[in-house]
Amino acid sequence: MRRAVVRGTGHYLPERVVENSWFEDKLDTSDEWIRTRTGIERRHFAAEDQRTSDLGIAAAKAALTNAGMTADQIDAVIVATSTPDFTFPSVATMVQAGLGMKGGFAFDVQAVCAGFVFALANADAMIRSGQAERILVIGAETFSRIMDWTDRGTCVLFGDGAGAVVLEAAEGNGDPKDRGILATDLNSDGQYRDLLYVDGGVASTGTAGHLRMQGNLVFRHAVEKLADTAHRTIERAGLTTGQVDWLVPHQANLRIIEATAKRMQLPMEKVVLTVADHGNTSAASIPLALSVAASEGKFKPGQVLVAEAIGGGLAWGSVVLRW
């Protein structure tokens, strides 16, 4: 059986770091209020002249270097984003051009915070089917461009950044001991659209709009749905929760992460956390967390990782892979 194996990771964070204290003279909030409710201490904001594709290109270059590969060895680029540079063309094609790629194909995936999981699942299917040998999967966002700076319930949560992984086809035995992506699970339910959305768009207002969220309801859905999708994917992989070495969750809110880990009966020592330094970077959060943890030497060959995320739509899902 062909498996999609992670060969390299990389990430990029804009230079501007915004501490919680930055919001204190703009909103009725405080560093303590934000930390207590979210676990966030700081986040990065893109510079005025930086676009989502710029962040994605930088993360992609880092991942290629980490993988020991060059751009001309890549067959496809998939970018998960909800904050594209333009309505079209896709961010992925601009990353493709920025890397100097003359061949292959590139496209975007839009599933908001779950976008990277959806992109990984697509890449896995393409590699399994033989459509591609090596795929660059990127999550890149500039959510600071769609914030309502008067809404303390949302604008303190989000940050900008990008993360990337290089996947390569490898032969496995078709059992849970294989390296690479072992199972995926994707879900969505459009009836919950109003819980988390942006109030603008090409066909509605003709503007980019601002992010709107019903935080309490999103929290309840997130904990239940994230634990459920993770359990399904672990079972599909032929594994048990006790065999999971690392949970790499969407870095939205520390309380959500803790509640999900508890529901999965995983100790926090097995959870990768970057939310304090990055905030919620939407589709970039999981690849950012993967890259940071990998660079710190946390992942060992053969370990089992579970990545899970939920975002607007609602859309949610998970991936189980062996490092």
Token pair listed for 215: 């935080």
H-type helices in the chain, by residue range?
31-38, 52-67, 91-98, 115-129, 215-236, 254-263, 275-278, 285-295
Integer Cα distance of 60 and 222 in angstroms: 29
Handedness of CA 122, 127, 131, 132 (dihedral sign): positive
Q: Which amino acid is at 122?
A: N
Please tell me the distance from the alpha carbon of residue 252 to that of residue 274, in angstroms, as a whole number. Answer: 10
Q: How many other β-carbons are positioned within 10 Å of the β-carbon of residue 75?
A: 18
Structure token digits, residue 216: 């309490």
The residues annotated as belonging to the active site are: 113, 250, 280
Q: How many residues does the chain have?
A: 323
